[in-house]
Amino acid sequence: MTLSESPTERHREVAATFGQKVAGTQDWQATAPVEGWTARDVVGHLVGWFPHFLAAGEVVLPAGPDVADDPVAAWQHQADAVQELIETRGEESFTHPRAGTHRLVDAVDRFYTADVFMHTWDLARATSQEPDLDEDQAGALLEGMRPIEEMLRSSGQYGAPVPVPADAPVADRLMGFIGRDPAWRG
């Protein structure tokens, strides 16, 4: 499946794929590929950081269920809230103190949808599901991240790169770039 070029539709598609992994999770305590994380922590990360990111630019997402109580409901609430936000306010200007000024839909796409896309792999691998990552999107993210590798690594958000053969699938190369071992299985 090739993802839409529209940031609004791309969020819908990426969030739906992640939502399938959330719905397919049987063991929320399963170890995730991110050191120290469980499957629940992957969802908690996405549901936790993004409202604060938006709030720094004076955009408020409505609070939803707690991931500790119901990760499925927490994820669905956030996916729906973000989708509504970008459908109704996506063309507005959004200024984040550290990320600069963008159309709101572009800020969501660049900083959040991309993160959901990459963490889909983490949740899928933690829960013995197929990641189903779009190869074109994986390639676009990888190419966009390579020129800013030093900045990404110094942020502490990415691990040391994991060597991956140059002819490996692009999703594997993306995972290696962000510090995941593509052969990792939970």
pLDDT tens digits along 16-64:
999 999 999 999 999 999 999 999 999 999 999 999 999 999 999 999 9
Question: pLDDT band at 1, cuts 50/70/90?
Answer: low
| Cα–Cα–Cα angle for 102, 155, 10, rounded to 5 degrees | 40
Cα 35 from Cα 49, distance rounded (Å)? 18
Domains of the chain: 7-177 (1.20.120)
Question: pLDDT band at 153, cuts 50/70/90?
Answer: confident
Q: Is 52 helix (H, G, I), strand (E, B) or coil?
A: helix
Q: Which amino acid is at 154?
A: S
How crowded is residue 62: how many other Cβ atoms within 10 Å of its Cβ? 11
pLDDT tens digits along 115-144:
999 999 999 999 999 998 999 999 999 999
